[in-house]
Amino acid sequence: MNWHGVKAIYRFEMARTFRTLMQSLASPVISTSLYFVVFGTAIGGRVGEIDGVSYGAFIIPGLIMLSLLSESISNASFGIYMPKWSGTIYEVLSAPVSYIEVLLGYVGAAATKSVLIGLLILGTARIFVPYEIAHPVWMTVFLLLTSITFSLFGFIIGLWADDFQKLQVIPLMVVTPLTFLGGAFYSIDMLSPTWQKIALFNPVVYLISGFRWSFYGISDVDVGISAAAIGGFLVVCLGAVWWIFKTGWKLKA
């Protein structure tokens, strides 16, 4: 394992984050704070409690997951797309590093940024509402698994994209709507029986449900199913990346 190569890629990507600190870290925290003001304060006062948890506290896992998914995909896709766009990807491919080491560098940096943002939002939430984390170990597991998995997914999107517009298609048109419809701001038990069944086809429901369980011990679906869902998607993403580097799809053209 060429750890020097991994470290070089990782440090380069992290340096880019700190050069654009306002956009990379502060912007998601500010936007999430606005969600707390609008949903937690204005709407939360009318909703009351859900499953014994105040509405302001109830939406914390959903807000963190909303930022986590979008930032993981955005960071990883942009990180690998820029070398493709500038042509420096060929220097990476010809360097004495394997695709595993390239993956560790780019995905590791993207996941690190996402975890930092998740923790910052978690700290910001304390300003607005009191909350307790019932299962901190599981919370950490879900946080890490989600960050790594969707950073891998973003890495694939960055390889697939032919222009800057395509980088935003899946995050804006697919992931964000699924997150809003996945119980980020409500429990799917509040829906009609028909819509509850339809909601179970949304994969983001399982992520938010498992993450919320780690906070309050309540969930819309069994936590084991949630863990299996994120684990299965991780395996699918790893398989897709392996195939891409094996065949050179979108890399050698």
One digit per residue, the tens of pLDDT, for the chain of length 253 reads 788 888 988 998 888 777 776 666 777 778 878 887 777 666 766 777 888 888 888 999 999 999 899 889 998 999 899 888 888 878 887 878 888 899 999 999 999 999 999 998 898 888 888 888 999 999 999 999 999 999 999 999 999 988 888 888 888 889 989 998 898 888 998 889 999 999 999 999 999 999 999 999 999 999 999 999 999 999 999 999 999 888 888 776 5
> Taking the complete model, does pTM exceed 0.75, yes or no?
yes
The pLDDT value recorded for residue 248 is 80
The pLDDT value recorded for residue 44 is 67
- Residue 229 CA to residue 200 CA, distance in Å, equals 12
The pLDDT value recorded for residue 111 is 95
Alpha helical stretches, state H, 20-163: 21, 27-35, 44-47, 55-58, 60-86, 89-94, 99-128, 136-160
Distant-in-sequence, close-in-space partners of 36: CB < 8 Å, separation ≥ 6? 56, 59, 63, 124, 125, 128, 129
Direct distance between the N- and C-terminal alpha carbons of the chain, in angstroms, rounded to an integer: 27
Distant-in-sequence, close-in-space partners of 152: CB < 8 Å, separation ≥ 6? 76, 103, 107, 234, 237, 238, 241
The pLDDT value recorded for residue 129 is 85
Q: Which two tokens stand for residue 74?
A: 């955005």
The pLDDT value recorded for residue 13 is 87
